[in-house]
Amino acid sequence: MTAVSTIALRPMTAADLEFSFAVFASTRADEARHLPLDDAGKQQFLRSQFEMQHTDYQANYPRAAYQVIERDGVPIGRLYVDRQPDQILIVDIALLPEYRGAGTGSVLMSEILNDSRQTGKPVRLHVELFNPAQAWYERLGFRTIENVSVYSLMEWLPNRSQEEV
């Protein structure tokens, strides 16, 4: 018999910022690898990018739920969701590399999509144009509604029929 993992969300605290940086850095590892900097310079660059992102998110999404994703009590990722009057905006969802591809993101996304069905609100997110996760979002039924700079704005509609997905 195999043990079933427990996926849980908890509010992010100031004590989680270093963990959140580690998650962020893991999502930018391929980009950083190509920078003409030594390892310390790459870390400094990633740190400054993280701090800018964190400041931007706090300023633009002050009511968002900033959460740590845990599996069996171990932090494995982050999920930031801003439930607005007219939409559910996924600001950020990211897992550490060793936890990707195991279904955790699908479990969390299923809960968000169920919330969308119950409230009738569309789910929206921005994803970088060349991010492999874009294909995953498309499989879930998200559609690109706009390209802005290096991002696609994608949307999932709660009333879309299965034939449209």
Identify the pLDDT of residue 162.
42
Pairing of strands 88-95, 143-148: unpaired
Task: Give me 49's structure tokens.
Answer: 């990018």
Question: Which residue type sits at 165?
Answer: V
> Looking at residue 95, what is its pLDDT?
94
Question: In the chain, which ranges are continuous DSSP H helix?
Answer: 17-27, 29-33, 39-60, 104-119, 133-140
**Helical axes 133-140 vs 104-119, angle rounded to 10°:** 40
Q: Which residues of 55-76 are buried (b: 16+ CB within 10 A; e: fewer)?
A: eebeeebeebebbbbbbeeebb
Q: Which has the closest alpha carbon to 46: 65, 97, 38?
A: 38
Tell me the pLDDT of the chain (165 aa) as tens digits. Answer: 455 679 999 999 999 999 999 999 988 776 666 667 777 777 788 898 899 999 999 999 999 999 999 999 999 999 999 999 999 999 999 999 999 888 899 999 999 999 999 999 999 999 988 888 899 999 999 999 999 888 999 999 998 644 444
DSSP 64-103: SEEEEEEETTEEEEEEEEEE-SS-EEEEEEEE-GGGTTSS
How many angstroms separate the CA atoms of 161 and 33, rounded?
42
Cα separation, 92 vs 78, in Å, equals: 7
Closest CA to 154 of 92, 103, 134: 134
- Note the pTM of the prediction, 2 decimals: 0.87
Contact 78, 69 (CB under 8 A): yes
Domains and CATH numbers, the chain: 7-164 (3.40.630.30)
80/73 Cα distance (integer angstroms): 19
pLDDT of res. 74: 94
Predicted pLDDT of residue 4: 64
